[in-house]
């Protein structure tokens, strides 16, 4: 298992299977599904009065991105990070100290100051990509009650935590040490713009100069056998932004007749607009015509990279270079990995009244990057208010949400000061808010999926704007679905005691259709059932629909009478408006390995003062 700083240091491990992880979001989304994404607090810390809990999770896991928006003129919060149920914080930091206080220092942590904007601003957006692992428990608090959007009222409350859980990682995870040496990570992140991120002892470089006539396509790199490609550079003579949509890149791996990668040039290098330079660690595009791409691409039976010119003018490329090696063949042969893919490119379009779908992926793998472009349709602007929503394996509550489009990339106040870049994210655009393009690279926080991934974004505050989106996703894996529904208890919840059925009619939190549904189940009841385990099942996942009117719901899960000690089934948040919520409990594989059948017990407890664990629907999935 590779996590935390190791994931940032060992970039050749990015393609390796990530089935040991699950991605999660906690943040300030509007509970009513509108645009009031500025209140961020779960509850007051019972042990530390005057501190408001922003994040609360049982481990093993790791915080991988922290972002918060606040006016410098508002009362400054101090964020405290508690680990392993300790009474004192291991680390605390003031809003103004991001980028300066170790280990939250440049470039792995920073702050962005937005414009004055006729007196509405400025806003200060702080961000950190410092990994903060925990074995048993982690809690993040603020000594300021984060709420409101208005600077004159001392507001500025919106923000989020992106984190991963590791169901089988209890023995492997080492808890966060604020004195850790992050110099090696900083050294790599400072190499943004370079194509030698993965060290090669015997690097080979293929370099060609090419001219593409209108309608012409050429294979610019072709090789048989097993290799790792890690570093592509391209120089486009007489650069113009229009070329980014008429030139396309395709890559064919392992003698495939269909390309695993197929993308317009701009999206491939992370910027569809090309108005200003943008650079992250993994890809970049400069308006002088130079571009680079660093996502590692291992393959076992050949690769071919093709460029096509669909425009009406001849295109000159004085440089197209590919850096590759065979020295890591044994590494990839002994560590299961996925081939790099793109989702089908989504061309510019408007989706009335629903999320714009940037990409849908079927199969098993992990998403590592998203490129999203927005176009305003006059008189409307390309609003920044739409939330990104990522649904994994059909779960109706998104695993990743966002408190605004720009907050997804840890920026804020719209996209008013293009361009902005850090090693993990960037954006380009125009200052009139009519166009923007953002990219978020998930270097250490990829989104694992076993069957499907659906990446959408709202058009404006609540899909009320007339605007268009385009974009693409990058992911590793293959098209084999490895998530299988083993049992569906809808209408027949396996309660092992008499109970009064509870019916709830509501809508799902962060659901773009807003259609009410009715579920009937139980609250505070023990569930128990036998489950046959198919051969080849590696991990078993329980998925429930819950009534989240009350927060801090907790249940312990037992397998064959043994309590899963690593963590419980815990939901700290609540929503009394959009009451329906779907979440999961992943059973660590040590409780199921080698068994043909298991008995599963879900027992609500009052560990956090609330025994009202809700189950309105229950499904069980197996992952091969």
**In terms of pTM, does the model score above 0.85?**
yes
Return d(Cα 322, Cα 233) in angstroms, integer. 7
pLDDT for residue 513 is more than 80: no
How do residues 74-92 score in pLDDT, each as one tens digit? 999 999 999 999 999 999 9
CA distances from 305 to 218, 233, 253, 321, 389 (A): 9, 13, 9, 11, 32
Q: Would you state the pLDDT for residue 414? A: 87
Q: Across the chain, what does the average pLDDT equal?
A: 96
Name the residue with tokens 């650079």: 279
How do residues 326-358 score in pLDDT, each as one tens digit? 999 999 999 999 999 999 999 999 999 999 999
Name the residue with tokens 């392992």: 254
Backbone angles phi, psi at 284, to 5 degrees: -160, 160
Q: What is the mean pLDDT of residues 371-382?
A: 92
Return d(Cα 321, Cα 310) in angstroms, integer. 22
DSSP H/E element including 358: strand 356-362
Coil, strand or helix at 3: coil
How do residues 35-46 score in pLDDT, each as one tens digit? 999 999 999 999
Q: Would you state the pLDDT for residue 498? A: 84
Return d(Cα 217, Cα 240) in angstroms, integer. 19
Peptide bond into 119 cis (omega under 30): no
Q: Would you state the pLDDT for residue 491? A: 85
Closest CA to 452 of 359, 534, 369: 359
Backbone angles phi, psi at 8, to 5 degrees: -80, -25
Q: Would you state the pLDDT for residue 223? A: 98
pLDDT for residue 161 is more than 90: yes
Q: What angle do CA 386, 391, 397 make, to 5 degrees?
A: 85
The answer for 64, left when phi > 0, alpha when psi is -120 to 50, beta otherwise, is alpha
Q: What is the mean pLDDT of residues 364-376?
A: 97
Cα dihedral 100, 102, 105, 109 sign: negative
Tell me the two tokens of residue 397. 């509550």
């Amino acid at each position: 298992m590779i996590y935390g700083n190791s994931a940032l240091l060992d970039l050749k491990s990015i393609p390796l299977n990530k089935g040991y992880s699950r991605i999660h979001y906690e943040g300030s989304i509007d509970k009513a599904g509108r645009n009031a994404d500025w209140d961020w607090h779960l509850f007051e810390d019972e042990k530390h009065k005057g501190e408001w809990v922003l994040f609360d999770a049982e481990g093993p896991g790791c915080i991988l991105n922290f972002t918060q928006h606040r006016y410098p003129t508002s009362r400054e919060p101090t964020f405290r990070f508690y680990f392993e149920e300790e009474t004192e914080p291991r680390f605390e930091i003031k809003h103004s100290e991001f980028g300066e206080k170790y280990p939250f220092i440049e470039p792995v942590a920073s702050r962005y100051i937005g414009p004055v904007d006729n007196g509405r601003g400025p806003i200060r957006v702080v961000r950190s990509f410092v990994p903060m692992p925990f074995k048993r428990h982690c809690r993040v608090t603020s000594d300021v009650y984060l709420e409101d959007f208005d600077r004159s009222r001392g507001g500025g409350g919106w923000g989020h935590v992106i984190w991963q859980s590791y169901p089988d990682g209890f023995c492997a995870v080492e808890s966060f040490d604020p004195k850790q040496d992050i110099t090696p990570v900083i050294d790599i992140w400072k190499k943004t713009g370079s194509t030698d991120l993965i060290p090669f002892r015997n690097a080979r470089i293929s370099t060609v100069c090419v001219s593409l006539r209108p309608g012409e396509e050429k294979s610019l790199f072709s090789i048989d056998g097993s290799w790792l490609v890690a570093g592509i550079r391209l120089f486009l003579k007489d650069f113009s932004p229009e070329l980014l949509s008429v030139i396309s890149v395709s890559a064919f791996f392992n003698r495939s007749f269909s390309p695993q990668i197929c993308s317009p040039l701009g999206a491939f290098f992370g910027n569809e607009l090309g108005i200003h330079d943008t650079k992250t660690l993994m890809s970049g595009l400069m308006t002088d015509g130079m571009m680079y791409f660093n996502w590692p691409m291992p393959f076992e039976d050949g690769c071919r990279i093709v460029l096509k010119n669909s425009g009406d003018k001849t295109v000159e490329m004085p440089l197209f270079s590919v850096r590759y090696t065979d020295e890591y063949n044994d590494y990839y042969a002994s560590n299961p990995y996925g081939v790099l893919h793109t989702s089908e490119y989504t061309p510019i379009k408007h989706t009335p009244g629903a999320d714009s779908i940037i990409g849908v992926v079927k199969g098993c793998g992990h998403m590592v990057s998203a490129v999203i472009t927005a176009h305003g349709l006059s008189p409307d602007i390309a609003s920044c208010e739409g939330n990104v929503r990522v649904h994994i394996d059909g779960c109706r509550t998104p695993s990743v949400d966002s408190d605004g489009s720009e907050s997804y990339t840890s920026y804020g106040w719209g996209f008013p000061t293009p361009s902005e870049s850090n090693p993990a994210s960037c954006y380009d655009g125009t200052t009139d808010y009519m166009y923007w393009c953002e990219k978020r690279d998930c270097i250490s926080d990829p989104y694992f999926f076993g069957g499907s991934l659906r990446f959408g974004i709202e058009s404006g505050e609540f899909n009320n704007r007339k605007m268009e989106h385009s974009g693409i996703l990058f992911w590793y894996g293959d098209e084999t679905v490895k998530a299988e529904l083993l049992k569906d208890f809808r209408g027949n919840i396996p309660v092992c005691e008499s109970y009064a059925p509870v019916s709830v009619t509501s809508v799902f939190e962060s659901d773009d259709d807003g259609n009410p549904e009715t579920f009937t189940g139980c609250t505070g009841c023990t569930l128990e059932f036998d489950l046959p385990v198919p051969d080849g099942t590696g991990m078993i996942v329980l998925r429930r629909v819950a009534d989240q009117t009350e927060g801090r719901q907790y249940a312990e899960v037992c397998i064959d009478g043994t309590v899963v000690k690593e963590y419980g089934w815990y939901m700290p948040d609540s929503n009394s408006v959009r009451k329906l919520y779907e979440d999961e409990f992943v059973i660590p594989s040590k409780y199921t390995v080698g068994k043909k059948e298991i008995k599963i017990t879900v027992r609500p407890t009052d560990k956090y003062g609330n025994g009202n664990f809700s189950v309105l629907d229950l499904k069980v999935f197996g992952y091969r």
